[in-house]
Amino acid sequence: MTQRTLMMNALRRRSPAPNGYRRNAFSDSGSESHYSAKRTTSTRRKRLELRGMKSGSGGTISLDDRDPKRKRLENGSEDFGENRATEMALSYTSSSDRSSENDVASSRDSEARDKSRSGVVKCPAQGSISLIGRRREMEDAVAVELGFLNKDSAGFDFYGVYDGHGGSCVAHACRDRLHRLLVEEMEEETTSLDWEKVMVGCFGKMDEEVNRSGRVLGAEGGSATVGSTAVVAVVGEEEVVVANCGDSRAVMSRGGVVVFISSDHKPDRPDELERIEGAGGRVINWNGNRVLGVLATSRSIGDHYLKPFVIPKPEVKVIKRNSTDEFLILATDGLWDVVSNEFACQVVKRCLEGRMKRKFQAFGNGGKLNKVVKESRAAEAAALLAELAMARGSNDNISVVVVELNHAGKCTV
């Protein structure tokens, strides 16, 4: 018997039965509620097997998968074949827990007390959620800064969604710093606000700060291959300003009609393709169209190894508010890859009208996430969109912010 035959026989004996595979699944060492789900290749269905493990204030959702945004530059040793772990657990934290490095998901509900010049107290409601999804690492970040600036007797709220790639440090830096840089830019404007100038300057400063900050890049080996998309919204009494850099997205519902506020920056978008090739770069179809065959978005903060082909300049849109404005959705492509703008708005509209309730039964009835979202329909809508994306097979981190623009709730002053 030849050596090749002996080796093949040995491999057959060691191969597991197709229906019986099992691997060590991801677990979080923190104090948390944890529910897991296992999937077998025989049925190719997601059968949920609930089991409580610990009680506490946090958790994870983790399923192994590739980074859809950025082609791997290093030879990984991970097994991405059929026999992969598919551990899934719902996560939730309060906004006060955001500084924890173990936080991978959050659902927030806030009612900001803002007294307008007419003396009427407004209570804009919002909810946000951020899930690790089917990825090994959480690279998204969400920022909600209510009343982050008062200028000329007008108050503004800030919402941001950041989709990191190659690591999470740039997304985290944007979450912590971008709204502060925006305040600096706005305070420098002595006359009427030029929103495009302010936003472009803010994003440019953020990109420069990431580039020169050894603390930020040093957090992940000093690599210049880390970046993040950014879509932010500044909501005032008279206008909504959205700035987008990358393929995260913002949509608004106005009088039952979907308003497309942002346009995704994809390498094959005609104007972006022309810009990239004009700068001497190329768009290569490698598991999708990518800048130099690497990055699936044509604009981002960071990614300095791809300059000048990938730029941090945002596209800015200013929308004057009116009485028919209903809500605003900001989300990463973990949602938009599997849910259309129209359907997302239908889901949110029904949630806000109280016509759609979700008890998150797949992750445990009566869990703490229910308690987080039950007091805010906006938070419930954000959580439902994230769960819908998971059910539709999203392979990316999923972050969603829902802002009610016509919320008429009462505040206690």
Q: Give the β-pairing of 227-235 and 239-245.
A: antiparallel
Classify residue 30: in a domain, yes or no: no
Classify residue 160: in a domain, yes or no: yes
Q: Total structural domains in the chain?
A: 1
Q: Smallest Cα–Cα separation from 390: which of 375, 400, 377?
A: 400
Q: Smallest Cα–Cα separation from 185: which of 206, 208, 215, 214?
A: 206
Letter string b/e over residues 41-58, b meaning 16 or more CB atoms within 10 A of that residue's CB:
eeeeebeeeeeeeeeebb
Classify residue 78: in a domain, yes or no: no
Q: Is the pLDDT of residue 24 over 50?
A: no
Are 114 and 380 a contacting pair, CB within 8 Å?
no
Classify residue 260: in a domain, yes or no: yes
Confidence bin at 318 (pLDDT 50/70/90): very high
Q: Report CA-CA distances (Å) from 66 to 63, 219, 252, 368.
A: 10, 22, 31, 30
Are 381 and 407 a contacting pair, CB within 8 Å?
no
Rounded to the nearest integer, the mean pLDDT of the chain is 73
Q: Which two tokens stand for residue 81?
A: 């074949």
Confidence bin at 338 (pLDDT 50/70/90): very high
- Of residues 41 and 304, the one with the higher pLDDT is 304
Torsion of CA 50, 51, 57, 63, to 10 degrees: -60
Q: Is the pLDDT of residue 57 over 70?
A: no
Q: Smallest Cα–Cα separation from 397: which of 103, 184, 114, 121?
A: 103
Torsion of CA 95, 96, 98, 99, to 10 degrees: 170
268: CB partners within 8 A, 6+ apart: 283, 289
Classify residue 12: in a domain, yes or no: no
Q: What is residue 319's three-state secondary structure?
A: strand
Q: Which two tokens stand for residue 127?
A: 């909810």
Strands across the sheet with 257-260, in order? Answer: 107-111, 125-131, 398-404, 325-331, 249-254, 257-260
Beta bridge partners of 140: 163
Classify residue 360: in a domain, yes or no: yes
Classify residue 317: in a domain, yes or no: yes
Tell me the mean pLDDT in the region 308-317. Answer: 98
- Give the DSSP letter string of 7-69: HHHHHHHHSPPTT----PPP---SSB-----B--TTT-S-B--------SSB---------SS
Predicted TM-score (pTM) of the model is 0.71
State which residues form the domain around 116: 95-404
Q: What is residue 245's three-state secondary structure?
A: strand
Whole-number Å distance between alpha carbons of 201 and 239: 20
Whole-number Å distance between alpha carbons of 413 and 410: 9
Q: Peptide bond preceding 308: is omega within 30 degrees of 0, i.e. cis?
A: yes
Tell me: the pLDDT tens digits for 344-368? 999 999 999 988 765 554 444 345 4
Classify residue 166: in a domain, yes or no: yes
Are 392 and 131 a contacting pair, CB within 8 Å?
no
CATH code, domain with 310: 3.60.40.10
Confidence bin at 174 (pLDDT 50/70/90): very high
Q: Where are the alpha helices (DSSP H) in 258-303?
A: 270-278
Task: Pick the most confident of 56-60, 115-119, 343-347.
Answer: 343-347
